[in-house]
Amino acid sequence: MLNSEYLQRVYSQVVTRDPDQKEFHQAVLEVLESLDLIVDKHPEYEANGVIESFVEPERVVTFRVPWVDDQGKVQVNRGYRVQFNSAIGPYKGGLRFHPTVNLSILKFLGFEQILKNSLTGLPIGGAKGGSDFDPKGKSDAEVMRFCQSFMTELYRHIGQFTDVPAGDIGVGAREIGYLFGQYRRIRDAHEAGILTGKGLTYGGSLARTEATGYGLCYLTAEMLKCMKNDSFAGKTVVISGSGNVAIFAAEKAMALGAKVVALSDSNGFVHDPNGIQLDVVKDIKLGHRGRIKEYAERVAGSTYTEGFRGIWTIPCDIALPCATQNEIDEDIAKTIVKNGAMAVAEGANMPCRPEAIRVFQEAGLLFAPAKAANAGGVATSALEMCQNSMRYSWTFEEVDAKLKSIMEHIFHNIYDASKDCGVTGDLVVGANIAGFKKVVDAMLAQGIV
Ligand code: GLU
């Protein structure tokens, strides 16, 4: 718990203001626990109310999203944009379309995004948005009508210098295309820099699709090399999820010499002891939005088991949780440790509960937190913005090389920050402190706190 009285006050105000926002409290508390190590050396934080400002979004927009389904019936969803912090650059962060979306989830994601975006070293502030709309099972025409209605309100809150949304769970190339089309229609202007994750024919960046998964492996590889003099070569890897992040993490882990033996979706998981065949997974998931169960029907020697948490009973050297938040609790973490894993790196946002992280760290596993490990996606979004401003595009190799160097730089930055705080190798503290310092210095310099 927190030692600093100032931080205790800030945290209790966060909880009192929004008692139901459990995920947001969890994300804030983790960061405040890290700040506890430095706050006494910075009386200017309390004097300027810096941390009170830091935990309060600059602006939150909620809006009605009415749309007509294929039966001609009007459906009404709720849309949100949490514009959390713009001290170092325009608000930046994805949109999530999933039935579990609410203000607590989006505030936790927006809060994490501030620090993640700061760690990329690029000039982007923090935001998140989305809707409780579920694209699963909807026709393309329904998704299009929903996206058009969503953008009919969102357009007035975004802009290349104001706020630049992108994808997240449930928002991929199809949704970004429909959203962009509606913005262009309303504004009568082709402003490529208002969204990232765009298609390659209208301003998207090469390697953006691969970036989060590839970046996760680049950072993990650097962590293995520098902290254990080791690599992915010959390692067994378990990856939860089977979306964009999981698929391209698997692709890069394999390219670096690892064997990926399992993937999951929200229904269950597949185990292929011979090594997952990625072309089959891509065909199922990217080809026709199928379920991972289909893999076991198509690949001999693999098995499918209902229930997504069971994936963590499969022994592995490296665990890459790439599904969603709070997937790994204390018991699952103990199983992963007992089975002999050496490293865990978070591809999803906050997939490990705080007790699980403690289990990993106490057992001496390497642990890379999401805000560093999955920053490759948003970093490449910032590279997309850069290309849009230049009206130019880099090759795949150019973007990939920049991504790799950004991820390696993030690792060294957070490792050094952990050392400076006297907790060498605690990358949770390192990421929180390194990410925070840049944003807070910018806030203090601008007198906006
Ligand atoms: N949704 C991604 C994330 O969690 C990417 C955001 C973006 O590219 O703006 O970082």
DSSP assignment of 207-255 equals THHHHHHHHHHHHHHHHHHHHHS--STT-EEEEE--SHHHHHHHHHHHH
Q: What's the CA-to-centroid distance between 83 and ligand 1, angstroms? A: 14
Which of 85, 107, 212, when mutated, tests ligand 1's pocket best, judged by the most ligand atoms within 8 Å of its CB? 212
Which of 113, 160, 210, 387, when mutated, tests ligand 1's pocket best, judged by the most ligand atoms within 8 Å of its CB? 113
CATH number at residue 74: 3.40.50.10860
Residue 171 shares a structural domain with residue 97: yes
Q: What's the CA-to-centroid distance between 172 and ligand 1, angstroms? A: 11
Q: In what order do the strands lie in the sheet with 74-85?
A: 59-68, 74-85, 126-131, 91-97, 163-166
Mean pLDDT along residues 63-72: 98
Looking at 368, 392, 422, the residue that finishes a domain is 368
Task: Give the structural domain span for 311.
Answer: 209-368
Q: What's the CA-to-centroid distance between 96 and ligand 1, angstroms? A: 10
pLDDT of residue 38: 97
Tell me how many domains the chain contains.
Answer: 3
Burial of residue 237 (number of CB atoms within 10 Å: 0-12, 13-18, 19+):
buried
Residues 6+ positions from 255 with CB-CB distance below 8 Å: none
With beta carbons less than 8 A apart as the criterion, state whether 168 and 94 touch.
Answer: yes
Mean pLDDT along residues 93-116: 98
- The Cα–Cα gap between 381 and 65 comes to 26
Residue 213 shares a structural domain with residue 329: yes
DSSP letter at 194?
G
pLDDT band at 310 (very low <50, low <70, confident <90, very high): very high
DSSP letter at 324?
-
Residue 90 shares a structural domain with residue 161: yes
Residue 18 shares a structural domain with residue 124: no
Q: In what order do the strands lie in the sheet with 318-321?
A: 303-306, 268-271, 259-264, 236-240, 318-321, 343-345, 366-368
Residue 44 shares a structural domain with residue 67: no
Q: What's the CA-to-centroid distance between 68 and ligand 1, angstroms? A: 28
DSSP 253-302: HHHTT-EEEEEE-SSEEEE-TT---HHHHHIIIIIH---THHHHHHSTT-
161 pLDDT more than 70: yes
Which atom of ligand 1 is found nearest the CA of 375? 10
Which atom of ligand 1 is found nearest the CA of 92? 9
Residue 69 shares a structural domain with residue 157: yes
Mean pLDDT along residues 160-166: 98
Q: Examine residue 405 and state whether it is found in any structural domain, yes or no.
A: no
Q: Examine residue 436 and state whether it is found in any structural domain, yes or no.
A: no
Which residues are part of the catalytic machinery? 128
pLDDT band at 1 (very low <50, low <70, confident <90, very high): confident
pLDDT of residue 449: 58
Q: What's the CA-to-centroid distance between 128 and ligand 1, angstroms? A: 8
Looking at 337, 368, 399, the residue that finishes a domain is 368
Residue 333 shares a structural domain with residue 231: yes
Residue nearest to atom 8 of ligand 1 (CA): 378
Which residues pair with residue 65 across a beta bridge? 77
Mean pLDDT along residues 391-419: 98
Mean pLDDT along residues 260-277: 98
Q: Examine residue 122 and state whether it is found in any structural domain, yes or no.
A: yes
Which atom of ligand 1 is found nearest the CA of 378? 8
Which of 81, 98, 119, 168, when mutated, tests ligand 1's pocket best, judged by the most ligand atoms within 8 Å of its CB? 168
- The Cα–Cα gap between 105 and 320 comes to 21
What are residue 304's phi and psi, to 5 degrees?
-115, 135
Pocket of ligand 1 from Cβ distances under 6 Å = 92-94, 116, 166, 168, 196, 349, 377-378, 381
Q: Is the pTM of this model over 0.85?
A: yes
Collapsed DSSP state (helix, strand, coil) of residue 152: helix
Residue 99 shares a structural domain with residue 162: yes
What are residue 307's phi and psi, to 5 degrees?
95, 115
Q: What's the CA-to-centroid distance between 67 and ligand 1, angstroms? A: 26
Residue 249 shares a structural domain with residue 340: yes
Which atom of ligand 1 is found nearest the CA of 168? 1
Which atom of ligand 1 is found nearest the CA of 93? 9
Residue 362 shares a structural domain with residue 238: yes
